[in-house]
Structure 1
Amino acid sequence: MTTPDPAQRHSSARLGWRESNRAWWDERVPLHASGELFDVSGFQDGRDTLRPFEASEVGDVTGKTLLHLQCGIGLDTLSWARRGARVTGLDFSEPAVEKARTLAAGIGVADARFVAADVYDAERVLGEKTFDIVYTGIGALCWLPDLGLWARTVASLVAPGGFLYLVERHPIADVLGKDGRTVTRDYFLREATVADEPGSYADQDAPTTANRSVQWQHGLGDVVSTLIASGLRLEFLHEHAFTFYPQFPVLQQTTQGIYRIPAGRPQVPLVYSLRASKQELR
């Protein structure tokens, strides 16, 4: 995803952020569904979109209920279903949810449920249902202005004895320049950032018309602290020196879907994963 230029920030960015972001995502659903990065045809043929460390850190999901917040077109959601989870995906983009439903039917996952709703409305829309696992994948938190409300929503959706598993772009990656090493932006910036750029992280040259988007930068300490404040207990926080798309031109693809700073250069974390659990009822 292209990082917006600092000059595009302004104090009125919150105005219309949800509508702009939804239009941005709605237009890019067919772009993502047909693009090489998502490789939907490979997924339909059996490719698992989850990374090995995700499956290892989450553990066996057989028979467990799993909610995927901000699920997009549902590839990761359905990969968990293939591993035995009973899945629900939620996203605010109607076209994304429709594509997820189509994919579920096409691969024979009949009991997957996909719901079109804002993540902040998830508790109400899902009828106060709770889940063994709440999962959120990379590139989700930057679209949310209120991290505290997100954490409280997540905590309300985790069943006692269950946990949140989050994989996300490391915030240090959001302040680096194109060389993937030099700090060019303020890590502690918490203002909204507005971009007006065509294309997508999946295809930066794609012609698009809904190009205004609004994003927020959330520090690692902010994420951990809000989850703890919501009542969840942090089990682990892992940092990874790779990412899953060519975020910087300097990155090299080492295996399918894995991009790293070239060997021999100083490494920085590009992705992190964490697990936070809710205490069982006594």
Structure 2
Amino acid sequence: MAFEERLQAAAEATEAALDRFLPTEGAAPGSIAEAMRYAALGGGKRFRPFLVLESARLFAGPAEAALNVAAAFECVHCYSLVHDDLPAMDDDDMRRGRPTVHKAFDEATAILAGDALLTLAFEILGDAGTRADPQVRADLVLCLARASGAAGMVGGQALDLAAEKRALDEPEIVRLQAMKTGALIAASCEAGAIVAGASGDDRARLRRYGEIIGAAFQLADDLLDVAGDAAAVGKRTGKDAERGKATLVSIHGEDWARARLDELVQEASAVLDTFGVKASVLREAPRFVAERTS
């Protein structure tokens, strides 16, 4: 199956899993269930779930368990988007070509829906139906918690907000991006290895692969903010320049960024060399990240 077909298949499987896990109307007070479903269903490339599934497949991991893990990671990603879009954060009105959750509902509902998506992720990972081995479940919870919290995605968002008040230097930008974007992507790759029962060395290798992809993903995102079409991207562009945020693109220019993306693609592919042809689909993912238009 070609890369695009595997990515689409992962997206469809994740959508079905999310639909199964998310509460339905009446299962949560007010509009919370509706807002959760609005935030999580019907859009997105599902790239993080794809990484979970393909990393697990690399080690012949159990498909159903990997899909549960993929859905949990996507819940955290969707929660982060809901909160990032809030007026107190990035203040965005559009996401994936439609109104953001706080615009479609209201701020309080968006905050609570995001909170509920975050906690649902850990409910999924902690359930024995995901993996009978309690040590595997504990490792998955720890992996996601570290990637999501103050030392990961949340800390990265805090640094991103601070960048509106002062210009960050290059090491600070690299750290910010590794936390805000890279941490969850790297954890997605490692989680696939964890649920499949891979060795510590292989888990570390997949995590390193994910860290490189995370750096490429953010660099491509910064390029889209500078040169992308808002309609294609599905959200407002030019935000970093408006807010005076320094990025690697603003420091080095678009040509440097594209050359650096090529280097990151090669670096990520090289990490997978030890797995040979089994990693052929994962080897295509960095190029997809580098060349994406949304």
Asked if these proteins are the same fold (TM beyond 0.5), I'd say no
Higher normalized strand content (fraction of residues): 1
Q: TM-score, normalised by structure 2?
A: 0.30
Q: TM-score, normalised by structure 1?
A: 0.31
Higher normalized helix content (fraction of residues): 2
